[in-house]
Structure 1
């Protein structure tokens, strides 16, 4: 708060308390909801990110957020239109339209991001994370009998 005194050309004074508010536009990636590490992930795993309004400005309905992710050198990006006001300190999850191929058993690196016009804190707009895709379970009863969960197999005792 500031105390302001104004004197006009006639020497008359007026006083007021002034509160200056600075709006900070900042939407950040708060985390990744999906995909998560698991067994036998497929070639169409959804990508869901958590967003947080970390600023001091409520983004109105209709604001366009640019969202995307990078996996194996392929970039997927899209515009997401807010369907309602995104209030200060509020979080939301968004599932992107594009899916990610995690069918190869290995550790996958995925980079995700959000960009909004006039974002004043770009350092929190992206996130790099890993997802482990585990291979199918193989087990054997004897040295020559291997069973894979991909094969229909009935055990009869």
Structure 2
């Protein structure tokens, strides 16, 4: 009558992710794509090392899908110019490397792509931190905001 405990956990996680996506800014969505690809690569490494070939293949396929259908698809080459073109080429390279890692069962290649994605995610996060500093301040002075919530 009831699903397993794992089914409930997976459903809860799915709702959490969907809620996060709905509430996320465009910048945060890109960070979520980087994080998803990195989790998939970590899963692929774990499964590769344990000899679980089927799950390794699924994890690598998921990482490739995130890179190609998420990160690459989000590039606007008209607006982004040379930077977007460079990122597109890098994403294409990473997808190719992931395919090679899968075929050769080579963890070093997975680690290479993992490093590249981590560097890009960290740079993207720094851009977000810079934007947060530049974002407009609330229309009420901070003291007014504090008073408003203190009296509530």
Q: Larger RCO: Structure 1 or Structure 2 (Cα < 8 Å, ≥ 6 residues apart)?
A: 1
Q: Give your verdict on TM over 0.5.
A: no
Query: Which structure dedicates a bigger proportion of its chain to strand?
Result: 1
User: TM-score when scaled to structure 1?
Assistant: 0.20
TM-score by length of 2: 0.21
| Structure with greater proportional helix content | 2
